[in-house]
Amino acid sequence: MLRCVFLTAFLALMTKVATADKTFAIQATYLGDQCGGTPYAITVYEDENCTATACDSYDTFYGSRAINANMMTNDCSSNHTELLQIMRDKFGNSPYLLQTLHIDENCTEFSMAFGYPAMGACVGAYNESDGLYAIASLNTNSSASLKLFYERTCFANQQYMATFVSQEELSTHSCTIDWFRWYSSNDAKVSPASTRDNTGGTLSSGALAGIGLGGFGFAVVLVVAVIVRRRQAKSRALDKHDHFESSMTPTAVDSLEAVLRGQTGLWNDDIITAKRIPRDKVQTERLISRGSFGEVYVGSFNDHKVAVKMLLPAMRGKIQHVNDFLAEAKMTATMDHPHIVSFIGVAWDSLSDICVVLEYMDGGELRSLLDKFQKDKHPIGFTREKTTIALEVCHALTYLHSLSPPIIHRDLKSRNILLNSDMKAKLSDFGISRERLDITMTAGVGTSLWMAPEVMLGERYDDKADVFSFGVVLSELDVHTLPYARAKTENLDSKGNPIPDSILLQRVALGIVKVEFSDASPEAIVDLGRACTSVYPTERPTAAEALYKLQMILSRKKSSRTQSAESLN
């Protein structure tokens, strides 16, 4: 307990030191060829290389892309109060709604902020295929509302979600349950800074019709999604998906290609096009795995052995699956870590042969190795080799969670951990990973035996869900069996049969059933595994904390071996 308190205090101190000098960029975007009037979006994000810019074209910063943003300003500040004032000054006398995002339940550690023009107009989207549109309003009773829509017309039947900000939350700027603080133009008026160009106080007609948010502005319309319950989001998404797919036949590949080429979404995304490689240079040899939506082959590219991932034939004629496949390719392409499988490229001549080319891991899945250990009656417990595998996976997880915004893998399991011939581990399969633009999510996905209780129950979750899955993987490394294998044999139904997974997972969610660890493993690793698989997310360590503990365990192993060797000399 004392060690826990000390570690918590130490980490809190280090966090305070690390965040004390953070610099934030305050980015305001405008239509037209000037940076005057009311901005249609303001985004504040951490940028240690922030450079103040009075006014420049959006493309100067981010390159030409399929968005509607024209001009932008960039201010820099390391002071929370000052950056809020800059945001207020940008809006001037126009009504606005400001939202600040924090990384703790008391809202003491500032992370990001967003500003909306509160004119009751339909504004904002990343692009026509990926974005949401927003209507921010200040109500006569001093409350506020923010609504998100799928389409630029913002009709009621297109609504994705809505959030209400109470008069108390808005006037006192109190920390909400979602770790937000809210501000508005109804606060005590402050004179705009003299440096601001007050060329107008209203949005252009083009902005009122529906305008595009780019880059970090995409977070504006996503961050508030934390208050949407899982069923609402899933239901609306499925309704839209089904409506679109119903207009297409499953075999209408030519029509599908035409639809995709007409979109401004992932098909023409800068990262996807930059990573495109010639399809005729990619050869497939033999199938090595198949899932519900895709299959993986051993193949070759430019005479090098590679892994080639493709959609199942039945899935290639559906735009949703193709876009999901491209989204996974894009996410994998942005990863750069020694313990994440390397992305080589994406190739296609037509939708029927689109494929993603990845680094080939000749050691196969970790699950296959553990199955072999179990069959060969390999000794259970943690060896240095197993601990190193856990450490390498934790390195990858820490990297994902440290990105801005963090990435939640959401399907961490032994089958998604690949090994090379030297037993080096790498994380793979980002098919359902998501950028954590919000504090919590409710779209429960993943593989049930590795799934955190809060995800099973459809509750809000964050990157601690990955930590739970990592704890389950630690159990697999220890005892070699699939998760809860022993619990299934010990918990029988009235007929003496193993209980079904549905009942088992209910007991897992309640904390009645836990993953197994052996007496052969070091106490420190067992304690870490137990902490990672706590029913309560707040009691789990972060990936970084787990990494630190594994490093300490390995260093102690190395130290004890060195001392033993010296004693023999």
Which DSSP letter does residue 276 get?
B
Q: pLDDT tens for residues 527-551?
A: 999 999 999 999 999 999 999 999 9
Q: pLDDT tens for residues 144-202?
A: 988 776 665 666 656 656 778 888 989 999 988 777 899 999 986 543 443 333 333 33
Half-sphere exposure of 259 (CA within 13 A, CB side): 18
pLDDT average, residue stretch 56-84: 69
Half-sphere exposure of 359 (CA within 13 A, CB side): 21
Determine which of 79-93, 190-204, 452-466 has the lowest per-residue pLDDT on average: 190-204
Q: pLDDT tens for residues 403-429?
A: 888 888 888 999 999 999 999 999 998
Residues 163 and 43 grouped into a single domain: yes
Q: Which of 332, 359, 386 is the last residue of a domain?
A: 359
Report how far apart, in Å, the C-alpha atoms of 198 and of each of 37, 90, 91, 96, 310 are: 6, 9, 9, 16, 54
- Which residues form the domain of 208? 22-227
Backbone Cα Rg of the chain = 26
Residues 355 and 371 grouped into a single domain: no
Question: Quick check: is 235 in a domain?
Answer: no
Alpha-carbon distance of 94 to 115, in angstroms, equals 12
Residues 378 and 313 grouped into a single domain: no
Active-site residue, from 411, 429, 466, 478: 411
Using DSSP's 3-state secondary structure scheme, residue 365 falls into strand
Residues 485 and 344 grouped into a single domain: no
Question: Quick check: is 17 in a domain?
Answer: no
Using DSSP's 3-state secondary structure scheme, residue 64 falls into coil
Total structural domains within the chain: 3
187 is a catalytic site residue = no
Residues 263 and 214 grouped into a single domain: no
Residues 316 and 302 grouped into a single domain: yes
What phi and psi values does residue 395 have, to the nearest 5 degrees? -60, -45
Residues 207 and 266 grouped into a single domain: no
What is the SS3 assignment for 458-498? CCCECCHHHHHHHHHHHHHHHHCCCCCHHHHHHCECCCCCE
Taken as a whole, the chain contains a residue count of 569
Cβ–Cβ < 8 Å for 286, 298: yes
What is the predicted pLDDT for the residue at 3? Answer: 37
DSSP string across 382-420 = --HHHHHHHHHHHHHHHHHHHSSS-EE-S--SGGGEEE-
Residues 419 and 555 grouped into a single domain: yes
Alpha-carbon distance of 426 to 58, in angstroms, equals 37
Q: pLDDT tens for residues 339-388?
A: 999 999 999 887 778 899 999 999 999 999 999 999 999 999 999 999 99
Determine which of 45-54, 277-286, 313-322 has the lowest per-residue pLDDT on average: 313-322
Cβ neighbour number for residue 285 with a 10 Å cutoff: 12
In the block, residue with structure tokens 């990592």: 470
Question: Quick check: is 5 in a domain?
Answer: no
* Average of per-residue pLDDT values in the chain: 74
